[in-house]
Structure 1
């Protein structure tokens, strides 16, 4: 398959194929006319890369996994370790997004009935200045 054919077959762009080729995750065969062709082994590798990306693996993760496999080792233990790390990171991001959503909803509720005010020399927007985040505690004077 040529670059454009591979991209089309997997619903992506030729730039994506070229990107993974530049990273040496894909190794096409260069023909006499200068076109790069991807044999079935590389097509399988591309499908693997896309699947790994869908699971949240980084390019660096994929390079580690491919390296492990290229040395004849089972990559499964590494894959399990990495997916646990990615899941923990995703959970942290998810919790942060839930907190952001809660703050945004709270801001909207707090601002619903407040009047509009023109900026002053010490204030840009009184709505943001007056915002009280959800679940924040007042700093304690105790030490």
Structure 2
């Protein structure tokens, strides 16, 4: 298979295939006649694995290590469990952070709904932001 064929069969882009090849995740052979990369069934399996792993939050570095473990005769499943547990904790923390940001943004929108637009001559950039604090209460310096 050539790059575009592999990409189609894995439902991804040719750019992704090239990038994963450059990283060493895929190992095509070269067509001696024209130098094109030719991918086989192992590459398709690795590419599908990498895409699934990425959809679960694994990094490309993780993917490389998991492939290497597997090819070295080790079962990477224990590492997969540890990694996903750690990534889940990170994602849940990020969700909490984003939820707090969303609440602050909504509070700011509500506080500024009827506030007039004005140009400040005292060196401040924007009175709306200056009048807002993290607790969502307006302040007036």
Following the alignment from structure 1 to structure 2, what is the Cα–Cα distance between the partners of residues 9 and 115? 57
Question: TM-score scaled by structure 2?
Answer: 0.91
What's the RMSD between the two structures over aligned residues?
A: 1.5
Following the alignment from structure 2 to structure 1, what is the Cα–Cα distance between the partners of residues 47 and 93? 29
Following the alignment from structure 1 to structure 2, what is the Cα–Cα distance between the partners of residues 17 and 37? 12
Q: How many residues align?
A: 136
Following the alignment from structure 2 to structure 1, what is the Cα–Cα distance between the partners of residues 67 and 13? 22
Point out where structure 2 has 5 or more consecutive residues left out of the alignment: none
* Corresponding position of 2:64: 63
What does 1:132-143 align with in structure 2 at a 5 Å threshold? 132-134=133-135
* Corresponding position of 2:75: 74
* Corresponding position of 1:8: 8
Point out where structure 1 has 5 or more consecutive residues left out of the alignment: 137-143
Question: Would the aligned equivalents of 1:29 and 1:38 in 2 still touch at CA under 8 Å?
Answer: yes
* Corresponding position of 1:92: 93
**Runs of 4+ residues deviating >6 angstroms:** none
Question: TM-score scaled by structure 1?
Answer: 0.89
